[in-house]
Amino acid sequence: MTFQIDESLHWTDHYVEHGMARIKNALPSSCCDTAVAAIQKALGTDLPPSQWACPPLEPNAPERLRTVSVFEHQEREDHGQPELQAVLDTIYDQPEIRDIIDTMFGSPDHWDGSRPYQLFIRLFDPNAKQVLSEPHVDFVNVRIPVIGNWFYFQVSLVKTEPFSGNISIYPGLHKIVQKRLIEQPNWWYGSSPKQKQEWNEMIAGIEPFEFVADPGDVLLFSHLAGHAGNASAATGRSPRVAMQCQAIRKDWPSKIDATDPNLTPWQRSLAHNGSIDLGCDEGKLQADAYRQRQDREAAAKA
Ligand SMILES: [Fe+2]
């Protein structure tokens, strides 16, 4: 059983309640067509994405398709594809995307204007199974921000099927993770047996939502929402081709006043556990935490 979107809620309320929201047809398909054409050019193929697949099923596929996994988990600066980047960068210029960001942050004044994204392409893998992976949060063996200053949005550029390698999200986990962080400020997500057991208890009973998408569908999710990338094993062999983007605020708040009736959707999603006053600069705290993790890892290697 997978989680079903509550269509009775406006997407902002859905994000607040579940730490995630899906907006169908948020972007015009022409915008996705332009992006896909740029990706095809970069890959050196005229094949439509529905025919992109890993060898050996497509022995005559262009060589670039065989190495397309280089796009997976690469930061945009590393693509080495300036033409492609110039096209993909414009996703943030789409009025529909700006509207989503401004709505989440409460006004056009709060977005910092940066455009961090990753292009996720996951091709059909004949050896993969039709299962959803275990969820994680993106803070392994490091402090997890209680408030943070961003949200994620993923834009599907193509039509996908169940098990196309879509992202899956664990709705409501943003409240549970934040509660744990408030109660145990030093709690970390990690791979030790104790951490694993605690994580399994936190996710127990939560049904995942799989982002099976049409071109232009957008999925928003909180940094505290558990999520997973999945293997691509759809019946029709369709791949995932999506942009994972981050919308970042100019400032990093240290407080959330849960009694304020004028909270933005982004703030409301962080106010389920009552008012928060960290009494410190969380952005600096987080930067220090990353530096300390780097030092620990370097020391472990030495
Ligand atoms: Fe992740």
pLDDT tens-place string over residues 247-299: 999 999 999 999 999 999 999 999 999 999 999 999 999 999 999 999 999 99
The reported pTM is 0.93
Q: The domain containing residue 95 runs over which residues?
A: 11-301
Q: What are phi and psi of 34, to 5 degrees?
A: -60, -45
Distance 260 CA to ligand 1 centre (A): 31
The number of CA neighbours under 13 Å toward the Cβ of 292 is: 10
Is there a domain that residue 5 lies in? no
Domain tally for the chain?
A: 1
CA 137 – ligand 1 centroid, Å: 6
**Range from 125-129, 132-136, 241-245, 268-272 carrying the lowest mean pLDDT:** 125-129
* In contact, 173 and 19? CB cutoff 8 Å: yes
The residue written with tokens 């309320």 in the block is: 13
CATH number at residue 297: 2.60.120.620
Output phi, psi for 243, to 5 deg: -105, 125
Instruction: Report yes or no on 69 lying in a domain.
Output: yes
- Residue 6 in any domain: the answer is no
**Does some domain include residue 3?**
no
**What is the 198 CA–ligand 1 centroid distance (Å)?**
18
Q: Is residue 49 part of a domain?
A: yes
- How far is the centre of ligand 1, averaged over its atoms, from the C-alpha of 59 (Å)? 31
| Sequence-distant (≥ 6) Cβ neighbours of residue 227 within 8 angstroms | 135, 136, 137, 167, 168, 169, 170, 221
Q: Residue 264: what pLDDT?
A: 98
Distance 60 CA to ligand 1 centre (A): 33
Query: E strand or H helix at 83, and its extent?
Result: helix 82-89
Assigned domain for 21 exists: yes
